[in-house]
A and B are shown apart, each in its own frame.
Chain A
Amino acid sequence: MSWFKRKKEGITTSTKDKKETPDGLWYKCPECKTIITTDEHEDNSWVCTSCAYHEKIGSEEYFALLFDNNAFTEINAGVKSADPLNFTDTKKYSARLADTIAKTELNDAIRTAYGKVDGNDLMIACMDFKFIGGSMGSVVGEKIARSIDYCLANRLPLMIISKSGGARMMEAAYSLMQMAKTSAKLSLMAKAGIPYISFLTDPTTGGVTASFAMLGDLNISEPGALIAFAGPRVVRETIGKDLPEGFQTAEFVLEKGFLDKIILRKELKTNIGKLLNMFAN
């Protein structure tokens, strides 16, 4: 295995932009409106120090939180969308992709890497919501499939961190078939007896929920995360009335029996380490 270290500086992308203005040095919690410095926020794993609201974070932050010493090997980093349908809505998909890549410095909505978590080997595939709403197109499907191939070849456990608005409409049926592709690959993991942990973060909806996100040997979430097949707006339109308090939150989904656990972000790494150890011994 080849290892390389990520620079500490790279971890703070989400707050880096804001630091250009003096105001950006502060983080205001959208839930309780408490204001703390961005450094305090980051030190607290991007969780509000007052009400424990878990801010949305991406692959860079999750890799830093989970991998020992933030050391990992990223695979298939260069895989990009090809716009197979030459899709145009209000903007050309190819242009949307190019702009998003430039803006986010990501190649698509998922990154895959392996390394050690509390000493346990683990492949992590982590979605990035800032890349077209974390939508699943060919790249997300392909990178998950390839990471599973790697896990199968090396008998490595897999964790997928989901954060997605669902399918990427600009890839139409190609996007739909990624549900079949990822789920079929996961059936090979199950057959081989290699653990798969699904970690559902805010938000996990649509085709991602209806495929790999709900197929974990363990399904785990973060407090307050929205987890749904049909989003709240669609359900509200269907039933024609307001939704009950807390509907489709991680706590609700746990109560309904579809999650094994909700884990606080600060305790995530230790807990994942313990669980991997359970499988291994």
Chain B
Amino acid sequence: MTYLEFEKPIQLLVEQLEQLNETAEKTQVDVASAVAELEAKIITTRKEIYANLSAWQRVQASRHPDRPYSLSYMDAVSDNTFIELHGDRTVGDDKAMIGGFGQIDGRTVMFVGQQKGINTKMRQIRRFGMANPEGYRKALRLFKLAERFNKPIVTFIDTPGAYPGLEAEERGQGEAIARNIFEMAQLKVPVICIILGEGASGGALGIGVGDKVCMLENTWYSVISPESCSSILWRNWDNKETAAEALKLTAKDMLENKLVDAIIPEPIGGAHNNIPEAHQIVKQHIITYLKELDAINPEERINQRIDKFCNMGVVVE
């Protein structure tokens, strides 16, 4: 377990509990009631801490090293039927963007999402979840494949942004993201987009145009990360907490501003604290949304999708 700075009170209690269990084992003293008390305290502490996170702490939680990534959801949500499909058919196979078929209670769904690495080596290979143009083009290929065979699409968003590299620019990062947004608007099948961790900028939106766009409770979604925002607008790296507040990037803010459709709750203490439960919650939400979207005819669904995005923005005259 890794504990973030604001999780320290939880860590202290967990360590106390471990000590208590150790002592009990050595001394054969009955500590059952003390253990129960500590366990209850750990739960209330987790609840309290996670109920009162600042925007910046929410950003930190979204990047928690123990947090489950897209692939783990694809496997779990599909009861391990997930079959990964590779390549954009032009340039290569981007490991930062993954996708493939899986079944939810017997029904085939196309999953697509950014994938962060789970260890040092994989983090390099997956470029920390920052896709190249071929990643976005692989995503689009899979969207079109799903549309051709009338399978709904579920995207999992977890990226610090599209990769800002030299080859990415050469191969048209801007065009790749633009094309995906444009094509996603017209997909004839239901599209559900779930922000699992970080939803940074065009890199997130490149797989983020859907009928239902939802955020897990401890995630963020905005035009820029608080760190980069601080460096550009305040010209230093020290205003990231202020920037996080100002950007209104939490799930709660985004829902209030009608920029996402729903918040998906996380287990007590965050998704990383009970990964199987997080998987189940997400699965249940997908099932509910699919039922809802199935009831709308494709043309109407596309109109509603486009209208929703066209209503975003505030102007005066």
> Which of A89, A138, A177, A187 has a CB less than 8 Å from the CB of B185?
A187
Inter-subunit contact B313/A138 (CB<8 Å): yes
Considering only residues 214-255 of chain B, those with a C-beta below 8 Å from chain A are: 221-224, 229, 232-234, 239, 243, 246-249, 254
Inter-subunit contact A243/B306 (CB<8 Å): no
Is residue A95 within 8 Å, beta carbon to beta carbon, of the partner chain?
no
> Which of A76, A90, A145 has a CB less than 8 Å from the CB of B310?
A145
- Given contacts A89-B234, A173-B221, A176-B202, is CB(A81)–CB(B246) below 8 Å? no
Is residue A98 within 8 Å, beta carbon to beta carbon, of the partner chain?
no
| A67 cross-chain contacts in B, Cβ below 8 A | none
Is residue A84 within 8 Å, beta carbon to beta carbon, of the partner chain?
yes
In the complex, A87 Cα to B206 Cα: how many Å?
26
Is residue B1 within 8 Å, beta carbon to beta carbon, of the partner chain?
no
Considering only residues 179-229 of chain A, those with a C-beta below 8 Å from chain B are: 179-181, 183-188, 190-191, 206-207, 209-215, 227-229
Inter-subunit contact B223/A167 (CB<8 Å): yes
| A179 cross-chain contacts in B, Cβ below 8 A | 178, 181, 202, 205
Q: How many A-B residue pairs have CB under 8 A?
A: 191
| A139 cross-chain contacts in B, Cβ below 8 A | 313, 315
| A169 cross-chain contacts in B, Cβ below 8 A | 223-224, 229, 232-233, 247
| A188 cross-chain contacts in B, Cβ below 8 A | 306
Chain A binding surface, main DSSP class = helix
Inter-subunit contact A210/B202 (CB<8 Å): yes
Interface size class of chain B, counting residues whose CB lies under 8 Å from the partner chain: 35 or more
- Given contacts A89-B233, A210-B202, A213-B174, is CB(A228)–CB(B248) below 8 Å? no
Inter-subunit contact A183/B181 (CB<8 Å): yes
In the complex, A173 Cα to B209 Cα: how many Å?
14
Is residue A275 within 8 Å, beta carbon to beta carbon, of the partner chain?
no
In the complex, A184 Cα to B254 Cα: how many Å?
20
A93, closest chain B residue (CB): B246
In the complex, A170 Cα to B232 Cα: how many Å?
11
In the complex, A170 Cα to B222 Cα: how many Å?
11
- Given contacts A183-B185, A213-B178, A215-B179, is CB(A178)–CB(B166) below 8 Å? no
Query: Closest CB-CB distance, A109 to chain B, in whole Å?
Result: 13
In the complex, A43 Cα to B313 Cα: how many Å?
39
In the complex, A207 Cα to B222 Cα: how many Å?
12
**B interface footprint on A56-92 (CB within 8 Å = 1, 0 otherwise):** 0000000000000000000010111110110111100
B residues sitting closer than 8 Å to A (CB atoms) are 162-166, 168-175, 177-179, 181-183, 185-186, 201-202, 205-206, 208-209, 221-224, 229, 232-234, 239, 243, 246-249, 254, 257, 259, 305-306, 309-310, 312-317
A residues sitting closer than 8 Å to B (CB atoms) are 76, 78-82, 84-85, 87-90, 137-139, 141-142, 145, 167, 169-181, 183-188, 190-191, 206-207, 209-215, 227-230, 234-235, 238-239, 243, 247-248, 256-258
